[in-house]
Amino acid sequence: MRLGVLGGGQLARMLAMAALPLGIRTTALDPSPDACAGAVAELILAPYDDPEGLDRLGQVSDVVTSEFESVPAESADRLAGLAAVRPNARALAVAQDRLHEKRLFTELGIDTPRFEAIASQEDVDRMQPPGVLKTRRLGYDGKGQLVVREESQLEGAFEQLGKAPLIWEELVPFERELSVVAARGVDGSTVAYPLVENHHRDGILRLTHAPAPGLGAEMQALAEAYALRLLTELDYVGVLALELFQLGNRLMANEMAPRVHNSGHWTIEGTETSQFENHVRAVCGLPLGSTAQRMTCTMVNLIGGAPDVADLAAIEGAHIHLYGKAPRRGRKIGHVTVTSGEGGWRAVAELAEQAADG
Ligand code: AMP
């Protein structure tokens, strides 16, 4: 079995690392010669919409997956002529557009913030703050968004967000942000990981606690039910992440990611089968592995700059993952999963903070 990945970043790198012991070789397509998956996978250097590059990837792969959702539809179609594309093109298309995504949530009875499609400044002017304006496509890590707290902010907002199709959402006074990672195999079997609690700053994930502290079994069941509905409806194969807002005993779906997810990195040490291995297993048609949690974990992202590896290694229970990427402001260059409790993760978080964007 040969795995192809669109994108050669850290997600592709960790997928390739999970595939190798299963006897599966990975090829990643990426426009950058520095793509960090290149350390563990063959790299095809080409833009994501380059017909020649795509054909080469399709020819050397039995199955092709992606590390990002914004796969051009034509690229997915072209690859589908040469290899199995998993997850499928519809799942990718839905996840690329916040409006389609939220309509699907609603159709499937998945609680989500109230929303409206916005196509012009006149549409913007009709909205009642507070709310959030987001570009429908190509927004990530808080980019392409505007929190609107008062009416004066509506003025010129359409232009400010690039005159692109937008979505307006109610501003949810959530208590915390959670996410669930789930997977579906070729045979339709499904598994889900424990719900985790996520902390963002400047729109970027900083910290994940696994499992989410103080969570009842009914919240886990609800999140799994939501994920399962999406997986089934989309005839999905692979790992899917669903980001949620918790408000009392409500879970509101914010967005889904049709891929392995940063809030699931802790599963490498923290569970019987990591999200990366389960994604590889799923897309390659293998049985899925147990998602049982082995120990409580906190994952700390390294953003913009990495602490001295010796300082991290001196902290008991710190499992270090450096991606081999050059430091740059706001860039995820590694993560550390800490299995030694609060003292350990606070020490790592402090080092990460000192090194961040330095
Ligand atoms: P997103 O790009 O949709 O994941 O949004 C980035 C972050 O903005 C989320 O992690 C939330 O912290 C916040 N956010 C997004 N949508 C809403 C909303 N409707 N209400 C309140 N906060 C939101």
Tell me the per-residue pLDDT of 182-232, one tens digit each, with 9 for 90 and over.
999 999 999 999 999 999 998 899 999 999 999 999 999 999 999 999 999
The SS3 call for residue 254 is strand
Two tokens, residue 174: 């959530």
Is residue 200 within 6 Å of ligand 1 at its C-beta?
yes
Which pLDDT score, from 0 to 100, does residue 95 have?
95
Distance from residue 146's CA to the centre of ligand 1 (Å): 10
Is residue 142 within 6 Å of ligand 1 at its C-beta?
yes
Distance from residue 53's CA to the centre of ligand 1 (Å): 35
Is residue 113 within 6 Å of ligand 1 at its C-beta?
yes
Is residue 203 within 6 Å of ligand 1 at its C-beta?
yes
| Among candidate residues 77, 100, 74, the one with its CA nearest the CA of residue 88 | 77
Distance from residue 182's CA to the centre of ligand 1 (Å): 21
Q: Does this model's pTM top 0.95?
A: yes
Distance from residue 256's CA to the centre of ligand 1 (Å): 12
- Residue ranges, the chain, pLDDT below 50: none
Which pLDDT score, from 0 to 100, does residue 141 have?
57
141 Cα nearest atom in ligand 1 = 2
Is residue 177 within 6 Å of ligand 1 at its C-beta?
yes
Among 69, 70, 132, 149, name the best residue to mutate to test ligand 1's pocket (greatest count of ligand atoms within 8 A of Cβ): 132
Alpha-carbon gap, residue 222 to 228, rounded angstroms: 10
Alpha-carbon gap, residue 168 to 163, rounded angstroms: 14
Distance from residue 111's CA to the centre of ligand 1 (Å): 15
Distance from residue 254's CA to the centre of ligand 1 (Å): 7
Among 135, 254, 263, name the best residue to mutate to test ligand 1's pocket (greatest count of ligand atoms within 8 A of Cβ): 254
Is residue 139 within 6 Å of ligand 1 at its C-beta?
yes
Which pLDDT score, from 0 to 100, does residue 139 have?
65
| CB neighbour list of residue 216: distance below 8 Å, 6 or more residues apart | 249
Is residue 172 within 6 Å of ligand 1 at its C-beta?
yes
Only one residue has tokens 């304006």, namely 133
Sheet of strand 145-148, all strands in order from the earlier edge strand to the far edge = 115-118, 166-170, 131-135, 145-148
172 Cα nearest atom in ligand 1 = 20
Which pLDDT score, from 0 to 100, does residue 203 have?
87
- Report the share of the chain in percent with pLDDT over 90: 96
Which 3-state string (H, E, C) describes 271-326?
A: ECCCHHHHHHHHHCCCCCCCCCECCCEEEEEEECCCCCHHHHHCCCCEEEEECCCC
Is residue 132 within 6 Å of ligand 1 at its C-beta?
yes
Alpha-carbon gap, residue 27 to 8, rounded angstroms: 9
